[in-house]
Chain A
Amino acid sequence: MGYLRLLIQQLRMSILLALQYRLDFVVGALLSLIWIAAALVPLVVLFSQRSAVAGWRWHEALIVVGFFTALKGVLDGAIRPALQDVVERIRLGTLDYVLIKPADAQFLVSTTRFELFRVVDVVAGIALVVIALAYGGHWPSAAAIALCLLLLFAAALILYAIWIMVLCLAFIAVKVDNLSFLFASIYDAARWPAGIYRGVVSFVFTFVIPLAVMTTYPALALLERLSAQRTLSALATALVFALLARVAWLASIRRYTSAGG
């Protein structure tokens, strides 16, 4: 219960910050909408030429784009700002103040900053999925929706775990800007159904950076085409990533050397 209260308090700080800079909030939200529209262009172009790509029809691929957009909102709104903040704190040495607080340090650093205007991406992503379902004309069962939500949660967990591990590298390397850019551009590949990737790329996107698990599996769940085996492997992957991230974090805190005199 204590941590829930703390989370609310941290959210409150982010809301106060957003209110402090209202113009920034509005501009950010507008930019998000423009980017979502721009991201739809390649999909529209592709499906104007052919009716299906790697077994995915237009409205099915749109579901993947919808989840990609919503998860991007979660990543940019709830995961990346806080963890970029930590990199800055490591550089300046002010992570000291987080580490002397009587609460789990990973929890504190992970909840320290939210970019609230990214809610726009989450809402727009969900809207895309609803539009796609309406276009397909087949509404999923309650069980399929529940499974889809569970898989989306697992996807967010994997994104979070990858970011924590990138952050852990910052304890050693101090500057990880390029690594975070690299990850951001790799994540872009999750806008396409995983089936279009072949060979090595397919292997990497399933096991190393499990993009397939992130957006394609929830879409398949919603279309009631995801096997039980794949569901379990997705959940297991999320669990393994979360545990790895925790271990990496604890090891990093041990070797934290602080900065400044």
Chain B
Amino acid sequence: MTILSDTASVSHAIVANDLAKHYRVHRREAGISAALRSLFARRFETIRAVDGISFAIDPGERVGFLGPNGAGKTTTIKMMAGLLHPTTGTVTVAGHRPAARHHDFLRAITLVAGQKQQLFWDLPPVDTFELNRAIYDVPRAEYRQRLDELVGLLEIESVMQKPTRQLSLGERMKCELAAALIHRPALLFLDEPTIGLDIAMQATIRRFIADYNARHGASVLLTSHYMADVAALCPRVIVIDHGTIIYDGTLEALAQQLRPEKRIELRLTATANAPSAWDCGDRGRIVEREGTRIVIQAPQGVVKEILAQAIDELPINDLTVADAPLEEVLGALFDKAAADRQARDPDQTADTGKSVAIEKR
């Protein structure tokens, strides 16, 4: 594990060194008798939600945190936002130790979680904006100007006067973003900001975040289950699995590393069924052959030759060449990580994953 030097924190927006968070949780079996037993003798176990991660993020960088549910993404974000105290290790954000919750630090960051809302349910969003203005002590003139900018970009002019409970999920999310950005933070922690939104609204939110990043040079840390969010917004991804970092770099490099082959999809004219005899020799491998559709996987270097052969020999209606889907690339990465863990510690079953220690109290 790389340990970054202390001086690095001066130029970086965020530096995490061997950061870990372990929880003690109460665990019991299902059913009434187990529940009754647990009233008297509770079994506790330690869950290593985040288990020694190190990374550095520069000002203005957009970084995506990826990983399955329970991988430790949100716990990491909460430690960076000062909500959780790390069990061991250190993290420095904007030159501060987040858990100290220094007001200068809190003014520099914001947090938006798609599953939790800060807007007052019974009041129009504009009242929450006004409250945040008072909390962050934003001068009136500046508040007006910032609000105008946010309202224009997010197109919430007509909705911000209606009670929050009457807004659609998309409208509410846009207002959540506005409420979180009134103080113009330099660091955005976004935890699943597009969850539950339709495709068009997801795109709107993405555009807005990219725009905010470009205008104000703010760093953006994003977790999302929608690969499209991450692919569109984050040149760099940090993949977390079982509390440890299993990849840190660009998505392209990851795809190159794990799925270097291209996908060629051929669609034949409607009348012609894919001839079962056709193949492209040992240049590539046919991964799907169904009706009028053939999908070939092949190294970048031979794509041109395969295309030439196909156009020559088949009645082609349409064709596409693409990288392997991101979901598949990540799936391959998690499989590889699971295999590595298994190799290191054969006692641990691959699927239960989380390293736990059980004690009785």
Contact = CB atoms under 8 A, between A and B. Distances in A.
Interface of A: 2, 5-6, 9-10, 13, 16-17, 20-21, 92-94, 96-97, 99-103, 105, 108, 254, 256-258, 260-261
**Interface size range on B against A:** 35 or more
Nearest to B24: A257
B106 interface: yes
A9 B130 contact: yes
Contacts, number: 78
B127 A13 contact: yes
Given A96-B113, A99-B101, A256 B123 contact: no
A100 B83 contact: yes
A97 B135 contact: no
B163 A20 contact: yes
B106 to A, nearest CB: 4
A254 B136 contact: no
Interface stretch (B74-82, B202-210, B282-290, B293-301): B74-82
Interface stretch (B114-122, B236-244, B315-323): B114-122
B160 to A, nearest CB: 14
Contacts of B109: 100
Interface in B80-135: 81-85, 101, 103-104, 106-107, 109-111, 113, 115-118, 120, 122-123, 127, 130-132, 134-135
Given A99-B83, A101-B106, A101-B135, A260 B23 contact: no
B136 A100 contact: no
Contact of A258 (B78, B120, B136): B78
B137 interface: yes
Interface string B61-83: 00000000110001000100111
B23 A16 contact: no
Contacts of A97: 111, 116, 118
Contacts of B85: 254
A97 B131 CA distance: 13
B116 A92 contact: yes
A257 B23 CA distance: 9
Nearest to B21: A257
Given A13-B127, A16-B123, A101-B136, 10 more contacts: A9-B130, A10-B131, A20-B123, A20-B163, A96-B83, A99-B82, A101-B106, A256-B84, A260-B115, A260-B116
Given A16-B123, A100-B82, A9 B115 contact: no
A13 B84 CA distance: 29
13 contacts: A5-B134, A9-B130, A13-B120, A96-B81, A96-B116, A97-B111, A99-B83, A100-B81, A101-B132, A102-B107, A102-B136, A260-B74, A260-B116
B83 A256 contact: yes
A99 B79 CA distance: 12
A9 B116 contact: no
